[in-house]
Structure 1
Amino acid sequence: MRRLISKAFAQGMLGFLGLTLFGCSSADNEMTGGNIQAVNHTLHGINWLSVNGYRADGGGGRSCCIVMPAKWRPGLKANIEWEVDSDPYAYSKWPTDEKGYWDAQTKHKANYQRHSATVDIPEWPGTKRCGLSVHFLVCNGVKVTSSCWAPSSPNYPIKDPMEMKEPALCPK
């Protein structure tokens, strides 16, 4: 019982501090939540991604959640980390017996690669922001947008083609 009271007290204090820190802030510092969407333009698999410490699934679709300013301001950055599986369909060639399968999976996971990049978050108009979409490009490139348009729309700002093959040599 004592532990429950302590936990409730701690949660109440955190809530109070949150109101103190954010409730009295100016509109320019207001933060809101949104989804993170991974858009993979490569033939590799994106296992997971992280944007400014908010982790999401790399398999496409939207994942909850990221906290961003309600209003864009100069200097906003996205620190992105992600894990790549260069052979996402390898499991179809793995042995079917249990030991062989787990051995193949362990060997396969050893080839996963982790990358990171920091990119500018482009300006969005007013307070119209729709989460953050992270586009994974060849040569471990990334672009981000907070556009409310669907990637298939002609109004969508990122126009890189899908299913791009890695070039033999990536620029430095």
Structure 2
Amino acid sequence: MSDTMICRVFMLLAASLLLQGCVESRPTMLGAPVSGINHTSAAINHFSVNGGGGPNLGPYGGGPGSQMCCAMLPVQWREGLTVVVEWEKDPNVGASVNWPKPRYSEGWFTAAKEHQSKYTRHRAVVEVAPYKELGVVDVHFLPCDQVVVSAVAQLPGMPGYPYNFPRRMEVPSTCPTP
């Protein structure tokens, strides 16, 4: 290889390295644990945040001890950051008490199938509360099929946590329209 050819290759390499500094960098993403807090009398059979699964939550249940993995979020919060929350809700949790006996009989399975047909499925695009340090992704399930999401590195109830809803919330007489 001639000296001019080597010089040209070197110049092309140097130019490409310099141009890489001009390319907009993407935010660094991390997988954060997913937790849910149910403030309603319904059961949340399952939910997800950006496709990352969350645990099932009984009425008024959940919290820091109920985590699953993971939802991908940027390390640095940015204005307009949203996630997609999807969930399935059982509005009549205690119905199985009145199902036919014995358990797992034909009548019991028929009642279970009818009960499951009343489950509702929901999807919401939700803004994530601002955070300085990425922590656990907490999804708060509120009355009227509303959800809010936090990803701060604080536990609910601690200073700096953005939402402090009562654990038990009643459904208002009128729900807001989406």
Shorter-normalised TM range: 0.7 to 0.9
Distance 1:156 1:74, change over 3 A: closer
Match of 1:68 in 2: 73
Q: CA deviation at 1:131?
A: 2.4
Supply the AA of the counterpart residue of 1:140. Answer: D
Greater helix share, 1 or 2? 1
Match of 1:19 in 2: none
Match of 1:130 in 2: 135
Match of 2:28 in 1: 30
Identity, in percent, stands at 35
Question: How far apart, in 1, do the equivalents of 2:97 and 2:110 lie?
Answer: 14
Match of 1:142 in 2: 147
Q: CA deviation at 1:90?
A: 1.5
Question: How far apart, in 1, do the equivalents of 2:128 and 2:35 lie?
Answer: 14
More displaced stretch, 149-158 vs 70-79: 149-158
Q: TM-score, normalised by structure 2?
A: 0.74
Of residues 102, 109, 114, the one that matches 1:107 is 114
Greater Rg by CA: 2
> What runs of 5+ residues in structure 2 fail to find an aligned partner?
1-23
Q: CA deviation at 1:67?
A: 1.3
Question: How far apart, in 2, do the equivalents of 1:54 and 1:155 lie?
Answer: 25
Question: How far apart, in 1, do the equivalents of 2:176 and 2:128 lie?
Answer: 23
- In the alignment of these two chains, the number of paired residues is 146
> What runs of 5+ residues in structure 1 fail to find an aligned partner?
1-24
